[in-house]
Amino acid sequence: MPLRTLGALAGILAWLVTGCGDGGETTVTVYAAASLSEAFEDLAAEYEAANPQIDVELSFAGSARLAAQITAGARADVFAAADGANMSRVVAEGRTVAPPVAFARNGLALVVPSGNPGSVTELADLSDDGLVLAVCAPEVPCGALAQAVLADAGVDAEPDTEETSVRAVLTKVMLGEADAGLVYATDVAAGGNKVASVPLGPQIRFNDYPVAAVSDRAAAAGFVDFVLGPDGQRILRSHGFESP
């Protein structure tokens, strides 16, 4: 059999394996912003419990990285971003099958390691060159939000590290590798007793999170509807997200 025919058959087989598992199980691949990790794990578990024939496969990373993967042809069924800008990139490339809908809101937060070794008490303290500051890279939603908050407050802060996802920033702070970081409010909760938050006061800003089906499979639309519905919203609120 010609190699090209073998390659085509392999591609069809891979599609079948991705789309259906044993017993006719359907796999829905969801690309979601890193800050949604715990919430979407719970969403997926409850959705699977209500739909035993569906398996939800989750892929978490910074929204910018996920958007780049989808526009490059990654086989995602659903995309949940932490901002409208990265979702707009995916929409502009014709990769969504329905208009995005905002499903959650998250606010920026200033986080420090437990015990606050850097003695950070307000946003202005981040201008101290002696502090190690971790933020998201500018193209990542939490990075763009951090830049806006610092500019609004007139704080001249030079980050020591710019990470590709908000969870990478949180990890730096949790490990004590940074004296402070700018993350989302929900990430502070995820950090548990290893971190503490410092109030931002009037400088706080929010991002709305949009979700959209990337494939035209019924299971993709079903998962989006679940996220937007009362059960999905209940789970998101339990993880500290607000309604958009």
The structure's pTM equals 0.85
Domains in the chain with CATH codes: 3-104+208-238 (3.40.190.10), 106-206 (3.40.190.10)
Q: Mean pLDDT per 10-residue run, the chain (244 residues)?
A: 38 39 75 97 98 97 96 97 97 97 97 97 96 96 95 94 96 97 95 94 90 96 98 97 94
What residues contact 67, with CB distance under 8 A and at least 6 apart?
Answer: 79, 81, 86, 87, 89, 90
Q: What span, in angstroms and rounded, lies between the C-alpha atoms of 149 and 153? A: 6
The pLDDT score that the predictor gives to residue 24 is 58
Cβ atoms of 50 and 223 closer than 8 Å: no
The pLDDT score that the predictor gives to residue 11 is 36
The pLDDT score that the predictor gives to residue 5 is 37
DSSP-derived letter for residue 178 is -
